[in-house]
Structure 1
Amino acid sequence: MTRWTVNCSILYTDLPLLERPAAAAADGFTAVEFWWPWPVAVPGDREVEGFVRAVEDAGVRLTGLNFFAGDMPAGDRGLVSWPGRSRELLDNIPVVAAIGERLGCRAFNALYGNRIDGADPKEQDDQAVELLTACARGVRGTVLLEPVSGAPRYPLLTAADAVAVLDRLGEVPNVGLLADFYHLAVNGDDVPAAIERYAGRIAHVQIADAPGRGAPGEGELPLRRWIDDVRAAGYDGYVGLEYRSEGPDAFAWLPRQDRAADPEGSST
């Protein structure tokens, strides 16, 4: 049985952020994930407390959380390799870790960051190794590295790109590949081949259909088959629903009785 988790940063966007965990619970889900919920690396204690309480009061488990990634609506895609902003990420790590401890979250997505004008790509990549190591040492759980689409300056496009970075981390144990089948497919990666080759490196899975980044069945991707493939290869974690859809039909493709996941299970 597939264990689903709802990304409440891209779904339920018609609601205030703190109302979204309860909305997911009302729709029959027991697990949620979020991008970084605030526009700054270190929000106030009251803001963090409100977020934690919203998840707890909804009775759902937080299965995934991003590190601070900059101004996402403006096109930023992470600080891991961004020269001059490492302090923000380092300050963010203990906040992420504390939320993870309070809510039982064990999967943390560290977006790599765009190539920066005037910056040496090698220096960016060397910084990324240092900061990904700091992220991994600073949290209890798995730090995820994700190829993404729609960001022309983001250098990790395929599963192989991300795994090459993970290989540079050497003996750091708690790092893994976030395989978002939508991003991989849109970038032209061979998803079945990536599953076969990197099954042992995949620590989280997310889905959306393409074209359009809509719900499963709205596009042309064989998402069910790919989920079956990755599960057959040994993946037993959550599958994140990270697509764009609003209204009563956002989850019409998934029968209500299939939405609940084991809230005590491991995310990766």
Structure 2
Amino acid sequence: MTVRYLVNCSILHTDLPVLQRPAAAAAAGFEAVEFWWPFPEAVPADSEADRFVAAVRDAGVELVALNFFAGDMPTGDRGIVSWPGREAEFRDAVDAAVGIGERLGVRAFNALYGNRLPDTEPAHQDELARENLGVAAAAAARIGATVLVEPLSGADRYPLRTADDVVTVLDDLARAGTGNVGLLADLYHLAVNGDDVERAIARHRDRIAHVQIADAPGRGEPGTGGLPLSAWIDDLDRGGYRGHVGLEYVPTAADPFAWLPRAQRAGHHDALGRTNA
């Protein structure tokens, strides 16, 4: 077994300032992290970007994945990839993210697709999304990275709900010659949306470029709900998935990682428990 976990520092350690979170993940025994876009604007000032890069480097952790700027998420935005009129903003944001990624060795950039907009034809949004994702993928390819596309739950106007929905987008991009794009399989979002997670893994395992987990109901840590996360992760592992599994949950306990023994947080171990001999 080769499961490796990382901490999503945008949903965990939120009691700390952003720049202190990589060190907190390291102190908890992890060697890798991921972030949603950690700045309020699409293009941070150079000094802000420098401080973020320094915080990750000083913590001694690897930044595996980084979201592109996704709009005003607290008010309901879920990406600007398919948002007409924001093309220049998105492309500037891509340049900013890839610049940070080049400095930190980021392997994947998550491009939230964007909500459906009133008075805008879905087909027009989808055409724009394909164009923007192609631009993002070309930028990511310059540093050997992949662009991720993710199904989401809890956002009624977000059109990508299932793994099939995302793979349709990936297939369109592949026909246009864009290859470094992949499915972000957030097992929580898929399950909450009613997708058949076992089928999705079996059918699309060759398209899965990153994995995230939380339990349901509640989006808490593994063991707080009823999802068979261990079985799903074992299935991914047996099928050849060798990426990280992002811990993207809302903690319910004082120690958000109590479910995962410390000795197994940095090493290779099976899905939710046993260290490899």
TM-score normalised to structure 1 length: 0.96
Q: Does 1:112 align with 2:113?
A: yes
Q: Is the 8 A contact 1:14 1:246 kept in 2?
A: no
Partner of 1:154 in structure 2?
158
Task: Give the Cα separation in 2 of the matches to 1:247 and 1:19.
Answer: 20
Residue 246 of structure 1 and its aligned partner are, at CA, apart by: 6.2
Question: Which whole-Å CA distance do the structure 2 matches of 1:247 and 1:32 have between them?
Answer: 20
Checking the alignment, whether the CA contact within 8 Å between 2:220 and 2:252 is kept in structure 1 is no
Which residue matches 2:219?
213
Q: Which amino acid aligns with 2:48?
A: E
Verify the 8 A CA contact 1:5 1:239 in the aligned structure 2: yes
What SS is found at the alignment partner of 2:158? coil
Match of 1:238 in 2: 244
Greater shift after overlay, 133-142 or 242-251?
A: 242-251
Q: 2:262 corresponds to which residue?
A: 256
Identity of aligned residues (%): 64
Cα 1:98–1:261 change in 2 (3 A) is: farther
Question: Of 169, 172, 181, which aligns to 1:168?
Answer: 172
Give the counterpart letter for 1:164 in structure 2.
Answer: T
Q: Is residue 185 from structure 1 mapped to residue 186 from structure 2 by the alignment? A: no
Is there any run of 5+ residues in structure 1 with no aligned partner, and where?
263-268
For each residue in 1:156-190, what CA deviation from the matched residue of structure 2 results, as whole angstroms up to 9, or x when unmatched? 00000000011111221100000000000000000
Partner of 2:273: none
Which residue of 2 is the match for residue 20 of structure 1?
21
Instruction: State the Cα distance separating 1:93 from its structure 2 match.
Output: 1.1
Structure 2: stretches of 5+ with no match in the other structure: 269-277
The amino acid that maps onto 1:113 is: G
1:43 is matched with: 44
Partner of 1:132: 133
Between the two proteins, the alignment pairs up a number of residues equal to 262
Deviation at 1:148, TM superposition (A): 0.3
Q: Which runs of 4 or more aligned residues in structure 1 lie more than 4 Å from their structure 2 counterparts after TM superposition? A: none
CA drift at 1:247: 5.8
**Whole-angstrom distance in 1 between the partners of 2:89 and 2:80:** 8
Question: Contact 1:25–1:60 at 8 Å: present in 2 too?
Answer: yes
Cα RMSD (Å) of the superposition?
1.0
Q: Following TM superposition, by how much is the alpha carbon of 1:219 offset from its aligned partner in structure 2, in angstroms?
A: 0.4
SS at match of 1:63: strand
Alignment equivalent of 1:222, drawn from 222, 228, 244: 228
Once the 2 structures are TM-superposed, how far is the Cα of residue 248 of structure 1 from its aligned partner? 3.7
